[in-house]
């Protein structure tokens, strides 16, 4: 089972460049999330989606954009990269089952902005 797949795993960006972190899940989950994690810190929610065509801001959305055109994919767009966006990014997904909905995480994408 592939689960949640993120690409790329590592990326170095120059200040002002833009890029898209790709995320896809094969579990037919309605909910998808993007988190960032700075060194030694916890997870911060950037954006989330409860289904195709529906997205909403999390705790730290500034500097990012998302889209959800399909159930499987939830790309995260960084516009005008800044050093403050140097972080590890995790994509995640979960079902909306009423018996509990475990969140499944990808392996992370390490982004450095120089």
Partner 1 sequence: DAKTTQPPSMDCAEGRAANLPCNHSTISGNEYVYWYRQIHSQGPQYIIHGLKNNETNEMASLIITEDRKSSTLILPHATLRDTAVYYCIVRATNAGKSTFGDGTTLTVKP
Q: Which positions lie near partner 1, rule CB under 8 A?
A: 4, 31, 33, 35, 37, 41-45, 48-50, 56, 58-59, 88, 90, 92, 94, 96-108
Pick between residue 78 and residue 106 the one whose CB is nearest to partner 1: 106
Pick between residue 28 and residue 100 the one whose CB is nearest to partner 1: 100
* Closest approach of partner 1 to the CB of residue 81, in Å: 20
Contact 76/47 with Cβ under 8 angstroms? yes
Pick between residue 15 and residue 96 the one whose CB is nearest to partner 1: 96
* Closest approach of partner 1 to the CB of residue 4, in Å: 8
Residues pairing with 66 in the sheet = 76
* Closest approach of partner 1 to the CB of residue 11, in Å: 15
- CB neighbour burial string for 1-14, b if at least 16 within 10 angstroms, e if fewer: eeebebeeeebebe
């Amino acid at each position: 089972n592939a689960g949640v797949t993120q690409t790329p795993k590592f990326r170095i960006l120059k200040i002002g460049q833009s890029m898209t972190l790709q995320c896809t899940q094969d579990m037919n989950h309605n909910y998808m999330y993007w988190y960032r994690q700075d060194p030694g810190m916890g997870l911060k929610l950037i954006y989330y989606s409860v289904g195709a065509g529906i997205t909403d801001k999390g705790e730290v959305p500034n500097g990012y954009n998302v889209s959800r055109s399909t159930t499987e994919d939830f790309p995260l767009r960084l516009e005008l990269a800044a050093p403050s966006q140097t972080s590890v990014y995790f994509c995640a997904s979960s079902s909306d089952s009423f018996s509990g909905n475990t969140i499944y995480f990808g392996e992370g994408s390490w982004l450095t902005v120089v």
